[in-house]
Amino acid sequence: MSDVRDAGYDDFVDALADGEGYYVECDEGHGSLPPRRACPHCASRDLSEEPLPETGTVESCTEIHVPTPSFADDAPYVVAVVDFGPVRVTGQVLADPEDVEIGSTVAPTVTETATEGDRLVAFELR
């Protein structure tokens, strides 16, 4: 892979790292993650960036024991789908697995993998 940025995605991660996470919202109120030119739920092209709520709720989670090579030195780790209301986000929860459960409150952040130092979306328990 080259070092070329993925417009939309890398901007999103930059913003999360600065504590200024956002999501894309259409005029019908559907949330999604960038890059978007049309709402994936209703096709509206009237989209705006809205601030991501400061905390979300774990909707589902799993402790991954068998990773891909890019996460070889990170396993085991917890991945969760987190509900922020208008939008959901997938990321790693930076906590002991036994402390993470469906319904846990988390805040978004950005971390790096232990394996290759890649940035990734993560959550901290609140």
Helix (H, G, I), strand (E, B) or coil at 74: coil
Interface residue with another protein, options 26, 32, 52, 106 (CB under 8 A): 32
Of 26 and 79, nearer to Zn ion (C-beta) is 26
- Cβ-based nearer residue to another protein, 18 or 65: 65
Strands laid side by side in the 47-51 sheet = 31-32, 22-26, 47-51
Number of continuous H segments (helices) and E segments (strands) in the chain: 1, 8
Q: Scan residues 69-108 and list those touching another protein (CB under 8 A).
A: 69-72, 74, 77, 79-82, 88-92, 97, 102
Contact characters 27-46, Zn ion, x per CB under 5 A? -x-x--------x-xx-x--
The DSSP bridge pattern shows strands 56-64 and 119-125 to be unpaired
